[in-house]
A and B are shown apart, each in its own frame.
Chain A
Amino acid sequence: MFGTTAKILRVNLTTGSLEVEQLSAEFYRLYPGGKALAGYYLLNELPPHTEPFSPENLLVLANGLLTGAPVSTATRYVASARSPLTNGYGESEAGGFWGPELKMAGFEALLITGRAPQPVYLWIKDGAVEIRPAQHLWGRTTGEVQAAIREELGDDKIRVLQTGPAGENLVRYAGLTNDLRHFNGRNGLGAVMGSKNLRAVAVRGRQRYQSLAYDPESLQALGRKLAKNVRQQPQSWDLQQHGTLGLVESLNNAGILPTRNFRQGAFEQVDQVKWEAYEKELFTAQRSCYACAIRCKREVALDGKPSIYGGPEYETLDAFGPNCGVGDLQAIAKANEMCNAYMLDTISTGATISFAMECFEHGLIGLEDTGGVDLRFGNAEAMLAMIEQIAWRRGFGDLLAEGSLRAAQKIGGDAIYFAIHVKGQELAMHDPRGKYNVGMGYAISEIGADHLVVPHDPALANPDSIPFKNALPLGITVAQPPRSLSDEKMHHFYVLERWVSFEKVVGYCFFGPAPRSFIHPDDVILSVKSATGWDFSIEEALQIGERATNMARLFNLREGFSRQDDHLPERFYQGLENGALQGEGMPRAEFEHALTVLYGMKGWDPETSRPTRAKLTELSLEWAADLVDSLDQA
């Protein structure tokens, strides 16, 4: 078997047992890493209804097939478990250096269960594994812990994946970070790690991906070509130049820049937070993930001092900026730094605070609830105070650490209307009223509101554009406007969801393959062929992606989810208060019809969203068909 170590490491933190397992070639072809491995093991090894913070919850950390290959954007690994935020299938991808290093150390995936009696961290070096005490690391920031582990083990090239104090304190949207700048932010997987008394997984390896590849010369040549293409293709050039920050002004002009808890689509202080201001006030340098020529990460300085945590990306900037009514870039950057030091998901943290600000504005909570914090929109100091309280579960922050849905249920009254979530997870900073397939992605995603389910609608609106032409090999043939829910638009969704899911299986970043970015689908397929020697096609790639999505769906069905959970927050059926799309809302009946059409394309029952036995058989998931049949008896 080429392209993979095909080895997984099983860790039981209760007993301290460590077991290495070799995967078969037949198995790996069906489940070649990342999201697919996560779905398989969660479905097969996690008992139904396992409490997310119980020792039995299974934390999967899984590389993609291509993670670590010398190809730009093939850097990603997935973290997965039953989510404490959604109580459903939990998943979050990150790039950086940890995934490639894990592969160099000999493993594709870690399956972590149990709970250590005392805080520990894992140390993996060239196939050797050790569970080490971490009491001295507990309660310390991520920056301190990374430095301490590297010093303790005497190697400053060790890659450290860790949660932070927020994960230790079981904040339901605590995340993971590697190298302090790359984040498995969503779904509260850092809290799962914290619940296991596991603070970090440190890795160091010396095996090179090329020693695993079927045709290393071909892979190297492709990597060189793509690295050269980055600056010769507009989409990747843009990511290199501006990161994701260029979105601020463009979305503001389109009228869909989430502002004041998604009430508005345009922010009056946008000039203070757009890329030009960011470049002038904060930006110091570009930074990359492993072997990636794009370098979309931003390095920043706060108050003149370089930050060890990197700079805010678009989602973070809007979550703590316009969506909290804050136009102070320094405060936004400080919020980003605090979240990264404590390891809070910046999207859910910002969105939960903006939820609380709207509750405060409507008098559902007052100063007596917030401990005297004046939690009105635009109050940057109050926002920073809340981040501190959330991370340590102090004061009013203890309630907000539960996420906006649970907090709304506790506050009562109209608060539930202000909780902008799907399946309990807060929306990322894209207003679906201007991008209908993004809305469909929010609604249908198994992890709750997720903005990275399909490339966003504008990319495929013009048949002569570069993104559209690059989508043709995937089977998309008719351009569709962003604000359409036609059957053809659902076909876009059906194709693109499978393609993006495939990216999450094999380890590509959302910013790598077309149509979102610069790697032509033919080159994506070539990378898999060169790595593995497989006779591989776009059709097989789409099927791999669809198989992974269906396993995640099956996991949620088992936990009691159904069609009624695939919805949008009520706010989006109402009109925007300002901006270019003022007064425009998502058409409710059309949205429901489109969801039914999409279920049909996916081979799912229109009432329940259950995959048919025929669909599961088509996807080589016959083994899961009995699970669907058993749901009625459950």
Chain B
Amino acid sequence: MRLSVGGYLGFYLPGFKRGLELELPQPTPLLEILANLGIPPAEVHLAVVNGQNEIPGEALISDSDEVKLFSAVDGG
């Protein structure tokens, strides 16, 4: 699966990356993926899976999915 992150979530990825590719042998709960990557679920404000907004705690991710995660950020 292809994961990209927005807002301050890149802070938690190694090398402050904006995204990465992961191999998922089987459908995996998004929360488990977050735990493996060290991204605190509480900081994920918005999860978009294949263009559809999903509730992070309920999303099940497959290897072919494209996932975008965003933190809560303000304007200014």
A459 to B75, Cβ gap below 8 A?
A: no
Most-contacted residue by chain A among B8, B9, B10, B75 (CB, 10 A): B75
Is A238 touching B74 in the complex (CB atoms < 8 A)? no
Closest residue on chain A to residue B74 by CB atoms: A456
- Whether B35 is near chain A, meaning CB under 8 Å from some CB there, is no
In the assembled complex, A620 has its CB within 8 A of some CB on chain B: no
Query: Please, which residues of chain A bring their CB within 8 A of the CB of B75?
Result: 244, 247, 314-315, 428-430, 451-452, 456
The answer to whether B72 and A461 have CB atoms under 8 Å apart is yes
A225-268 to B contact mask, C-beta < 8 Å, 1/0: 00000000011011001001011011001110000000000000
Q: Considering the complex, which residues of chain B in the window 34-73 have a beta carbon less than 8 Å from any beta carbon of chain A? A: 40-43, 45-46, 48, 53, 68, 70-73
User: Which of B10, B18, B74 is close to A459, meaning CB atoms less than 8 Å apart?
Assistant: B74
Chain B, residues 1-19, CB within 8 Å of chain A (1/0): the string is 0000011111110001010
Q: How far is the CA of A461 from the CA of B72 in the complex (A)?
A: 9
Q: Kindly supply a per-residue 1/0 record for chain A positions 377-418, scoring 1 wherever the CB is within 8 Å of any chain B CB and 0 otherwise.
A: 000000000000000000000000000000000000000000
Are B46 and A253 in contact, CB atoms less than 8 angstroms apart? Answer: yes
- Chain A positions within 8 Å of B25 at CB level: none
Binding stretch for chain B, among A298-306, A464-472, A596-604: A464-472
A166: min CB distance to chain B, Å: 23
* A580 contacts B by Cβ under 8 Å: yes
Task: Tell me the interface secondary structure of chain A in the complex.
Answer: loop
Whole-angstrom distance between the Cβ of B38 and the nearest chain A Cβ: 12
Q: Are A244 and B76 in contact (CB under 8 A)?
A: yes
The answer to whether A452 touches B72 (Cβ under 8 A) is: no
- Collect the chain A residues with CB atoms within 8 Å of residue B42's CB: 462-466
Chain A residues with Cβ below 8 Å from B71 are 234, 238, 250
A458 at interface by CB-CB < 8 Å: yes
Contact in complex: A314, B72 (CB < 8 Å): no
- Cβ < 8 Å to B, chain A residues 444-478: 451-452, 455-456, 458-459, 461-467
> In whole angstroms, how far apart are the Cα atoms of A463 and B45 in the complex?
12
Give the residue of B43, B68, B70 whose beta carbon is less than 8 angstroms from that of A234.
B43
Total number of B residues with any Cβ neighbor in A under 8 Å: 25
- Check A234–B12 contact: CB distance below 8 A: yes
Chain A interface residue count, Cβ-Cβ cutoff 8 angstroms = 37
Residues in chain A near residue B72, CB distance under 8 A:
456, 458-459, 461-462, 465, 467
Contacts of A250 in B (CB 8 A): 6-7, 46, 70-71, 73
Within the assembled complex, what's the spacing in Å between the Cα atoms of A237 and B11? 7
What's the Cα separation between A238 and B6 when bound, in Å? 9
**Known contacts A234-B71, A235-B8: A464-B76 contact under CB 8 Å:** no
A6 CA / B66 CA spacing, docked (Å): 57
> Which residues of A244-300 are within 8 A (CB) of B?
244, 246-247, 249-250, 253-255, 276
Q: Answer whether residue A360 sits at the interface, using C-beta atoms and an 8 A cutoff.
A: no
Contact of A511 among B8, B16, B68, B76 (CB under 8 A): B76
CB distance from B45 to the nearest CB of A (A): 5
Given A246-B6, A428-B75, A461-B72: A254 in contact with B11 (beta carbons within 8 A): no
In the complex, what's the smallest C-beta–C-beta distance from B4 to chain A, in angstroms?
9
Docked-complex contact A247 and B73, CB < 8 angstroms: yes
A234 to B42, CA, bound (A): 13
Chain A residues lying within 8 Å of B40, measured Cβ to Cβ, are: 464-465
Minimum CB–CB distance for A2 against chain B, Å: 30
A and B contact pairs by CB, cutoff 8 A, 23 listed = A234-B12, A235-B73, A237-B11, A238-B71, A244-B75, A249-B70, A250-B7, A250-B46, A250-B71, A253-B48, A253-B70, A276-B18, A314-B75, A315-B76, A452-B75, A456-B75, A461-B45, A462-B43, A465-B40, A465-B72, A467-B72, A510-B74, A510-B76
A contact residues vs B (CB 8 Å cutoff): 234-235, 237-238, 241, 244, 246-247, 249-250, 253-255, 276, 313-315, 428-430, 451-452, 455-456, 458-459, 461-467, 510-511, 516, 580
Sorted nearest first, the 3 A-B pairs with minimum C-beta distance are A458-B72, A464-B42, A234-B8
